[in-house]
Chains A and B, each alone.
Chain A
Amino acid sequence: MNRITTLFQQNAIENGPGLLNVYFTAGFPDKNDTLRVLTALQNSGADLVEIGMPYSDPVADGETIQMSNDRALSNGMTIKLLFDQLQDMRKGITVPVLLMGYINPVLQYGVEAFCQKCAEIGIDGLILPDMPMDVYEEEYKPIFDRYGVLNIFLVTPQTSEQRIRQIDAVSEGFIYTVSSASVTGSQSGVSENMEAYFERLQSMNLKNPRLIGFGIKDHATYSKASQYSAGAIIGSAFIRVLAEATDLEADIASYIQSVKNPKVEAAIN
């Protein structure tokens, strides 16, 4: 079974705390930091990791992730290099790993070759926000299925109930719940409107678990999101930590700790 599915099932059975999914951009801050950041995230307690494939035109992303994309590209990151960096990751990485990015670089690599490579390395899922659901179903789903790679879809506060049900039907793993109508990194906090939307989703009895992203940055927002879903996704806030890090491993550990379990961190300090 796919690592993502296993993780969510186990966590549900154990009634564990909210799962924390952390996004970072491959090749950032430095070209060869990809595996290092991934390893540090796992060691610090991230439950899943999304590795961003840098892209020249990330229209769904705000300034912070645009900046990390630009930096990574000028560091010389490519899809091929990313696969090289991750080739042996499963020697040490046990958490589910997803790749997130835009569809064009995947098309250029070749969808089949891309999924095959993911299966070979141990990538569990893809998040490609600009891949339309109908194109996925008609052209790519058989390929994803063949290689056991899950495709994660997004829903937003504006997504209609009918479409949420369609997305739920075609999804496996989890549904990426975007907390507000915005690009990444432009929201902070969880408003009352959002809570009403989260409750609406909760009451729909979807077959897939949900993770809430956009606007998650600290323990309070992570806890709030976890009340309404299986957990939370952090992106821009973590990129800012990486951008300012002086000691990658230590700074990642203390940030993840502060999000998941601030009391423990306080006790250590």
Chain B
Amino acid sequence: METSIENKSYHVSDRGYYGNFGGAFIPEMLYPNVEELRDNYLKIIQEPSFQQEFEHLLRDYVGRPTPLYRANRLSEKYQTNIFLKREDLCHTGAHKVNNTIGQILLAQRLGKKRIVAETGAGQHGVATATVCALMNLECIVYMGSLDIERQAPNVARMRMLGAEVRPATSGSKTLKDATNEAMRHWINNPTDTHYIIGSVVGPHPYPDMVARFQSIISEEIKWQLKEKTGSENPDYVLACVGGGSNAAGAFYHYLDQESVKLVAIEAAGQGISSGHSAATTALGKPGVLHGSRTILMQTEDGQVVEPFSISAGLDYPGIGPQHAYLFDSGRGIFMSATDQEAVEAAFELTKLEGIIPALESAHALAVLGRLGAGSSETVVLNLSGRGDKDLSTYMKYLD
């Protein structure tokens, strides 16, 4: 019976599936909201006026295209050719803003008056508060009360931008609970509110919609790499994965190009078997989380497990359904890096290239030494965010 839903492409099927992952596992209270989006998102984002405005804002407001930078000293160290996609140079400090711009333009066209969002490290919350200020829409951001303590500078930024930051005090008081609270808010306000999910998670059409807004990353990589190397296809594309939005964007235009190895790096926390980890594919099983069938960390009884990572942006017990399918089908290569390895990689990049990466992105950097890339091969690493927000963590490791 499952074959009718099964989808062979790496892109989403008409019914919202990637293989057997995806779908919209939502309570009836959310159905009309999600149906409205599902029925309209493609039509809206394909309108010329939408595309013009989206491209204009990405260029003049976000600062796109972001550079593709050949990291010479890093390349020398690992005896391969490493290019960094500089999403860290986006306005607000990470790739997250590509998606929030797209979704706020969509929300406007759907006539929504208010935006609700969840945030972990605060990057998506800041990116959402930013576009709400830009478009003069009311903004409510749910953030785990633990994360509010951990990420004070981003909380201040959101408030300065005019957003109301509401603490999520249920469960583990982190990203997954902030997501639950944002969903509850949406259930309670079904007609005038748009929920801007920050990653490629949630019910269909969110994973596909967010991936499309982030696909600008790989669209640019292709022509930039061609300019620099003569080929638009690298041998490897590396990206860290929490929910997986930066990876989805970096992989998007390479999904059907099987010669390009797509490498997703998860957060192993204190170690995969330490009991304090967020390495979803290593520790998880198929199930349903936040509205989609995916792979998630859970107990034998099907309760969602609290993840752990030094990086709040990767501190999530699931991955997007497309990534679950990339893992399950073997199209994606899944690796992981521990807290310690990520911090060391962040210091290494800073020392060799003068770039302080976000802790999230540092997880991708951490696997360069065991990737096995040859000296004639090309590696593109999506540097998804900058490390300003992580200075208090990094300072603990200075000397």
Residues A154 and B28 in contact in the complex (CB < 8 Å), given A59-B183, A130-B291, A132-B23: yes
Q: How far is the CB of B377 from chain A (nearest CB, A)?
A: 41
B1-12 vs A, CB cutoff 8 Å, 1 = contact: the mask equals: 110110000000
Q: How far is the CB of B190 from chain A (nearest CB, A)?
A: 5
Number of A residues with CB within 8 Å of any CB on chain B = 43
Number of B residues with CB within 8 Å of any CB on chain A = 40
Q: How far is the CB of B295 from chain A (nearest CB, A)?
A: 12
Residues A130 and B288 in contact in the complex (CB < 8 Å), given A105-B302, A108-B300, A183-B188: yes
Residues of A134-168 at the interface with B, using a CB-CB cut-off of 8 Å, are 134-135, 138-139, 142, 153-156, 158-160, 163
* A170→B288 CA distance, assembly (Å): 23
A45 interface residue per 8 A CB criterion: no
Say yes or no: B303 contacts A153, CB within 8 Å. Answer: no
Say yes or no: B289 contacts A104, CB within 8 Å. Answer: yes
B118-157 vs A, CB cutoff 8 Å, 1 = contact: the mask equals: 0000000000000000000000000000000000000000
> In the complex, which residues of chain A have a beta carbon less than 8 angstroms from the beta carbon of B29?
60, 129, 154, 156, 158, 178, 181-183
> In the complex, which residues of chain A have a beta carbon less than 8 angstroms from the beta carbon of B183?
59
A79 interface residue per 8 A CB criterion: yes
Say yes or no: A132 contacts B24, CB within 8 Å. Answer: yes
Q: In this complex, which of A59, A108, A139 has the most chain B Cβ atoms within 10 angstroms of its Cβ?
A: A59
B304 interface residue per 8 A CB criterion: yes
* A241→B4 CA distance, assembly (Å): 46
> In the complex, which residues of chain A have a beta carbon less than 8 angstroms from the beta carbon of B1?
138-139, 142
* A80→B31 CA distance, assembly (Å): 31
* A153→B66 CA distance, assembly (Å): 48
> In the complex, which residues of chain B have a beta carbon less than 8 angstroms from the beta carbon of A156?
28-29, 31-32
Say yes or no: B289 contacts A105, CB within 8 Å. Answer: no
Residues of B257-303 at the interface with A, using a CB-CB cut-off of 8 Å, are 285-291, 296, 298, 300-303
* A220→B176 CA distance, assembly (Å): 38
Say yes or no: B25 contacts A158, CB within 8 Å. Answer: no
| 5 closest A-B pairs by CB | A105-B302, A108-B302, A129-B27, A154-B28, A158-B32
Which residue numbers of B lie inside 8 Å of A, CB to CB?
1-2, 4-5, 15, 23-29, 31-32, 170-171, 176-177, 180, 183-184, 187-191, 285-291, 296, 298, 300-304
Beyond the given pairs A70-B170, A138-B1, 18 more chain A to chain B contacts, judged by CB atoms under 8 angstroms and listed by A's residue number, are A55-B302, A55-B303, A56-B304, A57-B290, A58-B180, A103-B288, A104-B304, A107-B286, A108-B298, A108-B300, A130-B27, A153-B28, A154-B29, A155-B28, A156-B31, A182-B187, A183-B29, A183-B188
